[in-house]
């Protein structure tokens, strides 16, 4: 999810300006500490591979329970690197949800593999494990591609069904890569996103729950043995001495300035996560009777990177909210298999839940600096729009 336009969306209301994502309030709270971090980078001058990179990687692994973390240039790079390391290539089928940001499909195609679109659960908005099994059977029966990998997406911060999908991946010999670009801070059965799959890609795009001040990402691993290869691929496939190419790679590095920013944001992440949960709790309580908020698996906690729900007359509601000073966004009005770049991969069998959700999904303001009065005002506006 890019969301560039939504970082500046805001409206004035009787309860103050309401931002869709409020990076200014967060920056005011930690600006002095961020400036000190950035000054330290200017002082040591290691703008690439500075000490902040390894510090961040260690803290990300410690936070999530992963065996290791590898910082990289973006969430997209974080998807491509593990796929390349796993040997995913031309002739391979990679199963992805049809309801996701286009980076998920792009990452697959950039390895030379073919995306196979899977339907979603209409309540959780995440990959439907039963449909995954059916799509795997379709690929086997057709015999044109080799089932190679599956990439569930933790949409809006809610963990996908790794219990069921993990069993299917193990049985079918599929590489399981979690797309946690929106999922940082989510948990399932007490484990954090980052430790729910052998490999997890996450994004630190500025609008994410943990966001940098530019593009950045990370890969989290349960297996230490793959880390060296991931680090090589992110540095043009070179060895640790940077003298010889040992595999195909590309420039997938995170710059040191972004790591410096993320270190200070990570320090307040738990506090912000609690605030996001409080906002979501009000939304759930007020809106469950008139809409269908995203449901979470039993034993799951969302990181609430975004708050999305299904609403009758979605477009009219969004227009009314805008008139009342409440910014909204639609993720996603067009499923991947209906986009021009990917429609050639649209499956013969329909994806009904994906298309239903795309028609009525709406995202409301979600960030830790919303006041209770603002959240209740937003809910009042939704209720008024649906009268």
CA-CA distance, 151 to 165, in Å (whole number)? 9
For 231-297, give the DSSP string: HHHHBTTB-TTSSSB-S---B-PPBHHHHHHHHHHHHTHHHHHHHHHHHHHHHHHHHTTTSEEPP--
Give the pLDDT confidence score for residue 8 in this predicted structure: 56
Is the pLDDT assigned to residue 108 strictly greater than 50? yes
Query: pLDDT digit string (tens) for 302-312?
Result: 999 999 999 99
* Residue 22 contacts residue 367 (beta carbons within 8 Å): yes
Query: pLDDT digit string (tens) for 112-147?
Result: 999 999 999 999 999 999 999 999 999 999 999 999
Q: Which domains, from first to last, does the chain contain?
A: 6-20+268-385 (3.90.1150.10), 29-266 (3.40.640.10)
Query: pLDDT digit string (tens) for 227-283?
Result: 999 999 999 999 988 889 999 999 999 999 999 999 999 999 999 999 999 999 999
With bands split at pLDDT 50, 70 and 90, how would you rate the model's confidence at 88?
very high
pTM of the model as a whole: 0.95
With bands split at pLDDT 50, 70 and 90, how would you rate the model's confidence at 14?
confident
Supply 180's token pair: 């946690």
Handedness of CA 25, 205, 155, 272 (dihedral sign): negative
Task: With residue 317 as reference, give the H or E element that holds it.
Answer: helix 314-323
């Amino acid at each position: 999810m890019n969301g560039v336009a939504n970082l500046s969306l805001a409206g004035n209301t009787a309860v103050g300006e309401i931002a869709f994502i409020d990076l200014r309030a967060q920056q005011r709270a930690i600006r002095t500490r961020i400036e000190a971090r950035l000054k330290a980078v200017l002082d040591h001058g290691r703008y690439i591979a500075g000490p902040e990179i390894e510090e961040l990687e260690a803290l990300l692994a410690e936070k999530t329970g992963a065996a290791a973390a590898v910082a990289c240039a973006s969430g997209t790079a974080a998807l491509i690197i593990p796929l390349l390391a796993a040997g995913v290539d031309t002739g391979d089928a990679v199963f992805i949800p049809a309801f996701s940001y286009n980076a998920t499909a792009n990452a697959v195609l950039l390895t030379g593999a073919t995306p196979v679109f899977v339907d979603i659960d209409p309540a959780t908005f995440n990959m439907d494990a039963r449909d995954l099994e059916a799509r795997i059977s379709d690929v086997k029966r057709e015999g044109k591609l080799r089932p190679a990998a599956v990439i569930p997406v933790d949409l809006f911060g809610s963990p996908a069904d790794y219990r069921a999908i993990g069993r299917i991946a193990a049985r079918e010999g599929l590489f399981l890569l979690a797309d946690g670009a929106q999922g940082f801070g989510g948990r399932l059965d007490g484990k954090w996103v980052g430790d729910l799959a052998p490999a997890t890609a996450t994004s630190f795009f500025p609008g994410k729950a943990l966001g940098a001040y530019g593009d950045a990402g990370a890969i989290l691993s349960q297996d230490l043995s793959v880390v060296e290869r991931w680090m090589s691929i992110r540095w043009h496939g070179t060895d640790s001495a940077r003298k010889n190419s040992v595999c195909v790679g590309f420039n997938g590095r995170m710059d040191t300035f972004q790591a410096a920013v993320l270190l200070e944001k990570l320090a307040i992440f738990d506090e912000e996560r609690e605030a996001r949960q409080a906002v979501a709790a009000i939304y759930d309580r007020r809106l469950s009777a008139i809409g269908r908020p995203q449901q979470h698996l039993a034993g799951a906690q969302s990181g609430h990177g975004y708050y999305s729900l299904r609403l009758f007359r979605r477009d009219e509601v969004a227009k009314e909210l805008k008139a009342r000073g409440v910014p909204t966004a639609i993720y996603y009005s067009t499923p991947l298999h209906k986009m021009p770049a990917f429609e050639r991969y649209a499956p013969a069998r329909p994806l009904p839940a994906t298309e239903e959700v795309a028609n009525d999904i709406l995202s409301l303001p979600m960030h830790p600096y919303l006041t209770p009065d603002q959240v209740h005002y937003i809910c009042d506006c939704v209720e008024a729009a649906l009268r």
